């Protein structure tokens, strides 16, 4: 089995545990062992946009140093927000030797970061290194007839300098969905922000936004939505369920992490921890009927 260095980030150890466990399982079916970094810390979740304050770059850069200390040139992420933050900080210090030197002189317990680590998202691993045919290979339960809406959100494709696909017409999630045997659904809100951290203090904005995105996907025929961002997941799943209760509106659309869809297609939904979701996806995936039939 090929071993790849993996940075989980905080959510995958807690609210998004089903994302991590399904990713570990799905990767093994592809001959890959995700080796968690021995030392890592929170990336800070959002990239700092203030030009003068390097303090907020320390969190992400420390993780890059740890990858370097463990002897790896590449580190893989699953969470879109971690991916974005690590990539942007990495880009900043690679392009600005003066800032890198300042940061290095500030971190005294770690070795100096040489700027040689590359950050890759799991979707880049699937698309660019393994290829869609390899992703299709372990499919045991082709998801035929299942309509899946890709939700890119913000952090996978923006800004252009680090985005993993075209910010206007991305296709990686559509190709991912097709490779698992399901049907990608086209709808206008695949890249519109869910409201992000405003879920903490401006919940109403997020409720409305979650309602808009999910009902648009439903109207386009989606049985479920996929994402790779734990914050989008919370907003589209939990906030959608609150929106539906408040507005007495339509049928809920379950939201899955990308690797949960892989695990289902590869024949193991136990690793998905679907009981953690506000909207249970099992009915949409017809897993309940199947379990009943098998009994």
Partner 1 sequence: MKLTDSDQDLVAEVEELSGENLYACFQCGKCSASCPFTDEMDELPNQLIRRVQIGDRRILQSKTPWVCASCLSCEVECPKGNDIPAIMEAVREITLRSNVDETDLRDLDTRGLPEIALVSNFRKKTG
State the residues that interact with partner 1 by CB under 8 A.
Answer: 10-11, 14-15, 42, 44-46, 48-52, 56, 79, 81, 154, 158-160, 167-168, 191-193, 195-202, 205, 209, 230-231, 234, 238
Q: How near is the Cβ of 294 to partner 1 at its closest, in Å?
A: 34
Of the two residues 17 and 286, which places its CB atom closer to partner 1 in the complex?
Answer: 17
Of the two residues 16 and 180, which places its CB atom closer to partner 1 in the complex?
Answer: 16
Q: How near is the Cβ of 158 to partner 1 at its closest, in Å?
A: 4
Of the two residues 176 and 234, which places its CB atom closer to partner 1 in the complex?
Answer: 234
Q: How near is the Cβ of 45 to partner 1 at its closest, in Å?
A: 4
Q: How near is the Cβ of 90 to partner 1 at its closest, in Å?
A: 17
SS3 readout for the chain: CEEEEEECCCHHHCCCHHHHHHHHHHHHHCCEEEEECCCCCCCCCCCCCCCCCCHHHHHHHHHHHHHHHCCCCEEEECCHHHHHHHHHHHHHHHHCHHHHHHHHHHCCCCCCCCCCCEEEEHHHHHHHHHCHHHHHCCCCCCCCCCEEEECCCCCCCCCCCCCCCCCCCCCHHHHHHHHCCCEECCCCCCCCCCCHHHHCCCHHHHHHHHHHHHHHHHHCCCCEEEECCHHHHHHHHHHHHHHHHHHCCCCCCCEEEHHHHHHHHCCCCHHHCHHHCCCCCCCCCCHHHHHHHHC
Of the two residues 202 and 290, which places its CB atom closer to partner 1 in the complex?
Answer: 202
Of the two residues 44 and 184, which places its CB atom closer to partner 1 in the complex?
Answer: 44
Q: How near is the Cβ of 144 to partner 1 at its closest, in Å?
A: 33
Q: How near is the Cβ of 195 to partner 1 at its closest, in Å?
A: 6
Of the two residues 89 and 199, which places its CB atom closer to partner 1 in the complex?
Answer: 199
């Amino acid at each position: 089995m090929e071993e790849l260095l993996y940075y989980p980030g905080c959510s995958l150890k807690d609210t998004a545990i089903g994302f991590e466990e399904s990713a570990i399982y799905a990767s093994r079916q592809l001959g890959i062992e995700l080796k968690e970094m021995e030392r890592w810390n929170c990336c800070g979740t959002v990239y700092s946009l203030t030009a003068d304050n390097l303090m907020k770059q320390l969190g992400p850069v420390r993780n890059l140093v740890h990858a370097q200390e463990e002897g790896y040139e590449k580190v893989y992420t699953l969470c879109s927000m971690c991916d974005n933050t690590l990539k942007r900080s990495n880009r900043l210090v690679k392009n600005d030797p003066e800032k890198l030197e300042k940061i290095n002189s500030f971190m005294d317990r770690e070795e100096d970061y040489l700027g040689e680590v590359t950050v890759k998202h799991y979707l880049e691993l699937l698309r660019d290194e393994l290829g869609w045919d390899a992703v299709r290979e372990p499919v045991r339960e082709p998801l035929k007839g299942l309509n899946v809406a890709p939700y890119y959100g913000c952090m996978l494709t923006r800004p252009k300098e680090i985005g993993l696909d075209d910010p206007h017409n991305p296709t990686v999630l559509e190709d991912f969905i097709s490779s698992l045997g399901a049907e990608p659904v086209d709808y206008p809100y695949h890249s519109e922000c869910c409201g992000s951290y405003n879920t903490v203090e401006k919940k109403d904005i997020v409720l409305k936004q979650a309602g808009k995105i999910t009902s648009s996907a439903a109207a386009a025929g989606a049985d479920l939505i996929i994402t790779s961002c734990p914050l989008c997941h919370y907003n589209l799943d939990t906030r959608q369920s609150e929106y539906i209760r408040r507005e007495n509106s339509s049928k809920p659309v379950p939201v899955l992490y990308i690797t949960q869809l892989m695990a289902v297609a590869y024949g193991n939904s136990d690793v998905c921890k679907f009981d953690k979701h506000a909207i249970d996806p099992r009915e949409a995936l017809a897993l309940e009927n199947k379990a009943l039939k098998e009994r």
